[in-house]
Amino acid sequence: MKNYIKHITNIGFFLLLFFSFGFKSETKEIKHKIQVIHPGKDLKEPVETILVERLNKNNETLEFYVNVESVICSDNTCKIVPVNIFWDINGEYNRIELEEGGYLEKIEGVEFNEDDYLKLDGILKNKNSALADYDINEIIDKNKKSKQQDFNFNFNADVDAVSGATIITIDESETIVGATLTSYTLWHWVNGPIPQIIKKIMVEKLSQEGLINLLNTSGEKQVIALEEISKRKLFNKAVRNIVVENIASENIAYRKEAFAYIKKLPKAQHFEALREIFNKKDDKIRFKALYLVEDSPYPISQNFSAFLTKNIIEKENQKEIEKLLDIYQGRKKTFSTTNQEIIKLLDSENFSIARNAYEFLKDKALFKTQQKLINKFYNTHKTALENTNKYQGF
């Protein structure tokens, strides 16, 4: 067995010892108590486990690992082997390690061979594996009476020395034949929530400068960096500019976090960021920003209201105008300068826009000159107004 382990190590897949790292005296460990959802256990109740962070003598993080059971088994009939799963500092899967003398097993007690371990390594590295799409109950049918029934039912199906039977067929490239449940269990440990937890731990170690540099990247790390920036309340112009500059990102998670960050900004910065967004030409982002205006923790000033109304009306985007009027109606207060801008919509060539402006303004306290314009619009379009359903927001 020792020669076998050595051979596997030489070809790049490591089966090392849990407790005999050759450089342990120069390293130390930090234990993070974490809770994760593993679909093999429960889709709602998290599992508590320990994520171990290994550091060198200079307190630099080397890697992370967790100690888990090789297979999830509810009836105590499985051969369970302790496995250490390792990730690098970026949350990328690196390897598994077994204790000395330990080995993984397939049906009928058959040990994994060299090819099985190598194939398993490839399966665990595949983030897009079909294993992600199955529920544990699809893997194991606890109502089957025997393994032989399973093979009579589907010769491609397999079990892991358990009384339940695999009831689905998974492509052989996606699993170890005879060890589907082991493949499923380990894959979900490797590719579940833990990689993101690792990234968050590493991001928390960064300085403000490091966070800003990460914010200028893309992908999941950019989102995690912004979450940490928001958590630290790094509300300054430099960060705000980067957040707004990237807010049109195709990354939905980033956009969501960016709007959350802007909502938390101090009042002056909050509205300055909104001004910058509405000065952009991206209609999709502008419209989403209107929901942030609606949900703003601050009252809308006359100055910002004048800016926003003029900005929206000049584009004459019906969807934006309807939302803006809906926001003002919900706040129960508009400024006379805002009403003056909205009155301009009565001349719109788009009758729907003009009608919406009329319905919004008709019950407002207006200046005499403004009221005359409202009356004129009504007299001109009386028949159309009476035959058309009123704008639903008013």
- For the stretch 205-253, pLDDT in tens is 999 999 999 999 988 889 999 999 999 999 999 999 999 999 988 899 9
Q: Considering the domain boundaries, does residue 203 fall inside one?
A: no
Mean pLDDT of 88-103: 94
Q: What is the pLDDT of residue 321?
A: 95
Whether the predicted pLDDT of 391 surpasses 90: no
Rounded distance between C-alpha atoms, residue 164 and residue 36, angstroms: 25
Q: What is the pLDDT of residue 174?
A: 85
| 292 and 307 part of one domain | no
Q: Which amino acid is at 77?
A: T
Rounded distance between C-alpha atoms, residue 213 and residue 203, angstroms: 11
Q: Considering the domain boundaries, does residue 199 fall inside one?
A: no
Q: What is the pLDDT of residue 388?
A: 66
Q: Considering the domain boundaries, does residue 202 fall inside one?
A: no
Lowest-confidence range among 72-81, 136-145, 153-162, 215-224?
153-162
Whether the predicted pLDDT of 159 surpasses 90: no
Lowest-confidence range among 13-27, 49-63, 121-135, 178-192?
13-27
Rounded distance between C-alpha atoms, residue 392 and residue 82, angstroms: 63
Which residue among 249, 268, 297 closes a domain?
297
Whether the predicted pLDDT of 141 surpasses 80: no
Q: Considering the domain boundaries, does residue 105 fall inside one?
A: yes
| 290 and 328 part of one domain | no
β partners of residue 165: 141
Domains in the chain, number: 3
Q: What is the pLDDT of residue 11?
A: 37
| 56 and 127 part of one domain | yes
Q: Which residue has the higher pLDDT, 155 or 258?
A: 258
Which range among 3-7, 52-56, 245-249 has the greatest average pLDDT?
Answer: 52-56
**What are the strands of the beta sheet with 28-38, ordered from one edge?**
28-38, 42-55, 61-69, 82-87, 93-98
Q: What is the pLDDT of residue 14?
A: 43
Rounded distance between C-alpha atoms, residue 317 and residue 151, angstroms: 63
Q: Can you give the length of the chain in residues?
A: 394
Q: What is the pLDDT of residue 348?
A: 93
Which residue among 168, 194, 220 closes a domain?
194
Whether the predicted pLDDT of 165 surpasses 50: no
| 363 and 272 part of one domain | no
Which residues are CB-contacts of 373 (< 8 A; sequence separation ≥ 6)? 343, 346
Q: Considering the domain boundaries, does residue 279 fall inside one?
A: yes
Q: Considering the domain boundaries, does residue 205 fall inside one?
A: no
Q: Considering the domain boundaries, does residue 21 fall inside one?
A: yes
| 171 and 265 part of one domain | no
Rounded distance between C-alpha atoms, residue 368 and residue 237, angstroms: 44
Contact 46, 70 (CB under 8 A): no
Which residue among 194, 226, 257 closes a domain?
194
β partners of residue 47: 36
Mean pLDDT of 163-191: 79
Q: What is the pLDDT of residue 163?
A: 30
| 48 and 166 part of one domain | yes
| 50 and 186 part of one domain | yes
Query: In terms of residue numbers, what domain contains 344?
Result: 299-394
Provide the pLDDT confidence category of residue 75 given band limits of 50, 70 and 90.
low
Mean pLDDT of 104-109: 86
Whether the predicted pLDDT of 1 surpasses 50: no
Whether the predicted pLDDT of 202 surpasses 90: yes
Q: What is the pLDDT of residue 253?
A: 94
Q: What is the pLDDT of residue 107?
A: 82
Whether the predicted pLDDT of 282 surpasses 90: no
Rounded distance between C-alpha atoms, residue 137 and residue 114, angstroms: 29
State the CB neighbour count (10 A cutoff) for residue 255: 18
Provide the pLDDT confidence category of residue 140 given band limits of 50, 70 and 90.
low
Q: What is the pLDDT of residue 108?
A: 78
Rounded distance between C-alpha atoms, residue 30 and residue 64, angstroms: 9
Whether the predicted pLDDT of 148 surpasses 70: no
Q: Considering the domain boundaries, does residue 206 fall inside one?
A: no
Whether the predicted pLDDT of 173 surpasses 80: yes
What average pLDDT does the chain have? 83
| 281 and 369 part of one domain | no
| 247 and 344 part of one domain | no
| 49 and 185 part of one domain | yes
| 167 and 44 part of one domain | yes
Q: What is the pLDDT of residue 134?
A: 83
Whether the predicted pLDDT of 36 surpasses 50: yes
Whether the predicted pLDDT of 44 surpasses 70: yes
Whether the predicted pLDDT of 255 surpasses 50: yes
Lowest-confidence range among 53-57, 76-80, 223-227, 259-263?
76-80
Provide the pLDDT confidence category of residue 156 given band limits of 50, 70 and 90.
very low
For the chain, give the percent of residues with pLDDT over 70.
Answer: 83
For the chain, give the percent of residues with pLDDT over 90.
Answer: 61
| 31 and 63 part of one domain | yes
Whether the predicted pLDDT of 332 surpasses 80: no
**Percent helix, strand and coil across the chain, each to the nearest 5:** 50, 15, 35
